[in-house]
Amino acid sequence: MPELSADGHVTTRDRTLNVRIPKGIRPGQQIRLAGQGAAGYGGAEAGDLYLVVEFRDHPLYRVDGADLYLDLPVAPWEAALGAAVKVPTPLGKVGLKIPANSRQGQKLRLKGRGLSGKQAGDLYVVLQISLPAADNDAAKALYKQMQDELDFNPRAAMEVF
């Protein structure tokens, strides 16, 4: 903490403060600690200390206001056929139904499962389809069977001829 020394130089002093972080606080908001700032001039009371809130990146969630986003890896058959899976939320795991014919990047909303506060945000689960490697004969045969039996061209919309 900066202080003005007797000879008029600014010095610093380290202090440890216990701070209560209010529920529902957002990045960029400030917390005011009354009387914890630098001493006033001429013996006046100490000023206030303002802390600006920043969030560290979370390994699972992205924050957008009160909403959270979670990238969820799913197998191609789960996306195609539908599935019931467990999803991690800040308050524990919950069940989620992945609808049949889901697409890469599709967002599924879990209402009220985002950041809490005056109005709770939502948790958006973003589907990320993970392809298994064709690293053995059985897997290669399954991919070949899909190639032969499915009329599928992922670049069809790009065709100009």
pLDDT in tens, 47-105: 999 999 998 999 999 999 889 999 999 999 999 999 999 999 989 999 999 999 999 99
What total number of domains does the chain contain?
Answer: 2
The pLDDT tens digits for 15-48 are: 899 999 988 788 899 999 998 888 777 778 889 9
Residues 30 and 92 both lie in one domain: no
Task: Report whether 141 contacts 149 (CB < 8 A).
Answer: no
| Single-letter amino acid code for the residue at 143 | Y
Same domain, 9 and 35: yes
User: Is pTM, for the whole model, over 0.85?
Assistant: no
What's the domain range around 85? 61-133
